[in-house]
Amino acid sequence: MPVAKVVLVWALYLVGFVLIVAQAGVASIMSVNGVTDPTWFLALYLPDELRTVGALALAVVGLLVVGCGRLLSRGHDKPARKNFGLP
């Protein structure tokens, strides 16, 4: 796989996991615990009644971004696996 594509795939994975873990997961925990300082968590900038929806939306976007990274890396030749007779 070309280096530029590898960098893109890893960037997509990184952004996706930040959206899932930090922006959705940690923000949800902070919201439940009543933290009022939003810092860098996007969902905490929303009104109280929309925070859960915002966190879920960020998690879905994160899953989509990780899925895009997976799709980009899926069809490439894996010479190291072929050495062992694996598909």
Helix ranges (DSSP H) in the chain:
3-17, 27-32, 51-74, 79-82
Number of domains the chain contains = 1
Is the entire prediction scored with pTM above 0.95?
A: no
In a domain, 21, yes or no: yes
**Amino acid identity, position 74:** R
Whether the predicted pLDDT of 48 surpasses 70: yes
In a domain, 68, yes or no: yes
In a domain, 35, yes or no: yes
Segments forming the whole domain that contains residue 34: 3-73
In a domain, 28, yes or no: yes
Structure confidence by residue, pLDDT tens digits, 20-47: 999 999 988 988 888 878 888 888 898 9
In a domain, 52, yes or no: yes
Whether the predicted pLDDT of 80 surpasses 80: no
In a domain, 18, yes or no: yes
Which of 2, 4, 13 lies closest to 71, judged by CA? 13
Residue 56 has a pLDDT of 94
In a domain, 38, yes or no: yes
| Rounded CA separation 25/37 (Å) | 16
In a domain, 16, yes or no: yes
Residue 43 has a pLDDT of 87
